[in-house]
Amino acid sequence: MTSLLHADGLTFRVRERALVEAASLAVEPGELIVIVGPNGAGKTTLLKLLTGEIRPDGGVARLDGVDIHAMPAWSLAARRAVMAQAARLAFPFTLAEVVRLGIDSVGRLLPPARRRAIVEEALAAADVGALAGRLYQTLSGGEQQRAQFARALAQLEAGRTTSQRQVLFLDEPVASLDLNHQLALMQAAAREAARGAAVIAVLHDLNLAATFAHRLVVMSSARLVADGPPRSVLTRALVSGIFKVDLPLSEPPSSGAPYILPQNYAPGRVGAAPGIAASGR
């Protein structure tokens, strides 16, 4: 059985400098994978390689065994939806129109009633129904982000009629969201995973990542340095080695997800943690 999404040795360079180096990753249906790593580690570039937005200089990404660059855009779009970082809009669409863009291509053959239902469901799931008629430019950063999430959800739902084997990509989806909507968005993403889609999200908040991720993938200096359940990946040694902050990790008895309290932060207490890159791989 081939993996739903399989990256094999993906490499991407800009002027000899590797942004992603030999990244390999196998993703199965129902998995919620969170990619974490410091700024500039190559997380967004890896996501762009996995979505087919950019071509790798080496390696290949396959969706159900097929090279994604061998698939036409329309067929790829039925299989995966992408929520990119802060998208700007050239002309004043309303929020409802932005969300509808998600199904204009993938869902164009669906009956109108079904299309309407998909848009409504997506608006509700991202909690933006009340803003439907507002101009996108007049929304706050967090509201725009939720609109983009709704657009991605709508595309995913419209594509489900074509194939159940789908991937949802989220690039820092909660960057501008309040706590309530951070949790709501991650829960909606987890629901998509529960329905059989694979979800791949880039997050900065390690606690949020540990709470929702089935698998945590850690990137550092263009490489994947760790990949596994949050509990085994998120160690004090890794956090101090990769993120250069040495903080104690705790684990509440109820959920079992490790957490970090930044109150314990004291500048200068940076652990060297040698051998992290080696041990994670």
Partner 1 sequence: MTSDALPAGAHLHHSDGAATFFAQRRRRVRIVAVVSIGLLIALAVVSLGAGAISIPPRRVLDVLIAYMSGDAGVWSTRDGLVIMSIRLPRLFLGMMIGAALAVAGALMQGLFRNPLADPGLVGVSSGAALAAGATIVLGDRYAAATIGKLPFLILPLGAFFGALIATLVLYLIATREGRTSIATMLLAGVALAALAGACMGMLSFMSDDRQLRDLTFWTLGSLGGASWTKVATIAPLVLAMLAATPLLARGLNALLLGEAEAFHLGLPVQRIKAAAILVTAVGVGAAVAAAGVIGFVGIVIPHILRLIIGPDHRALLPLSAILGAALLIGADSLARTIVAPAELPIGILTAAIGAPFFMWLLLRRDRVFEA
Pairing of strands 58-63, 5-14: antiparallel
Q: Does 67 bind partner 1 (CB under 8 A)?
A: no
The stretch among 1-9, 15-23, 58-66, 114-122 that binds partner 1 (CB under 8 A) is 114-122
Choose which of 131, 168, 217, 219 interacts with partner 1 (CB under 8 A).
Answer: 131
DSSP 46: H
Please enumerate in sequence order all residues whose Cβ is within 8 A of that of 115, keeping only pairs 6 or more positions apart, or say none. 100, 103, 107, 158
Kindly give the pairing relationship between strand 66-67 and strand 167-171: unpaired
CA-based torsion, 82, 86, 90, 91: positive or negative? positive
Min dist. Cβ of residue 24 to partner 1 (A): 23
- Which range, of 29-37, 180-188, 203-211, 245-253, touches partner 1 by CB under 8 A? 180-188
Residue 33 touches partner 1, criterion: CB under 8 A:
no
Give the residue from 165, 179, 170 showing the smallest Cα distance to 145: 170
> Which range, of 1-9, 105-113, 200-208, 249-257, touches partner 1 by CB under 8 A?
105-113
Residue placing its CB nearer to partner 1 in the complex, 104 or 251: 104
Closer residue to partner 1 in complex, CB, 163/232: 163
Q: How near is the Cβ of 129 to partner 1 at its closest, in Å?
A: 2
Strand partners, 82: 169
Does residue 128 bind partner 1 (CB under 8 A)?
Answer: yes
For residue 90, the minimal CB distance to partner 1 (Å) is 3
**Residue whose pair of structure tokens reads 């071509």 in the numeric block:** 55
Residue 218 region by backbone torsions, left for phi larger than 0, else alpha for psi between -120 and 50, else beta: beta
User: Which residues, in sequence order, are CB contacts of 209 under 8 Å at separation 6+?
Assistant: 34, 36, 203, 216, 230
Which of residues 1, 73, 109, 278 is near partner 1 by CB under 8 A? 73
Specify whether the backbone of 65 is left (phi greater than 0), alpha (psi in -120 to 50) or beta. Answer: left
By beta-carbon proximity to partner 1, the closer residue of 213 and 242 is 213
Q: Is 27 in the site for partner 1 (CB under 8 A)?
A: no
Rounded to 5 degrees, φ, ψ at 125 are -65, -30
Number of neighbouring beta carbons within 10 Å of residue 135: 15
**Of 137 and 264, which has the nearer Cβ to partner 1?**
137
Closest to partner 1 by CB, 80 vs 223, is 80
Among 144, 155, 166, 240, binds partner 1 (CB under 8 A): 155
User: Could you say whether residue 145 binds partner 1 (CB under 8 A)?
Assistant: no
Closer by beta carbon to partner 1, 57 or else 97: 97
Tally Cβ neighbours within 10 Å of residue 214: 17
> Going by DSSP bridges, is the β-strand pair 32-36/215-220 parallel, antiparallel, or unpaired?
parallel
User: Which positions lie near partner 1, rule CB under 8 A?
Assistant: 48, 51-53, 72-78, 80-82, 84, 87-94, 96-102, 104-106, 108, 116, 119-125, 127-133, 137, 155, 180-181, 183-184, 187-188, 191
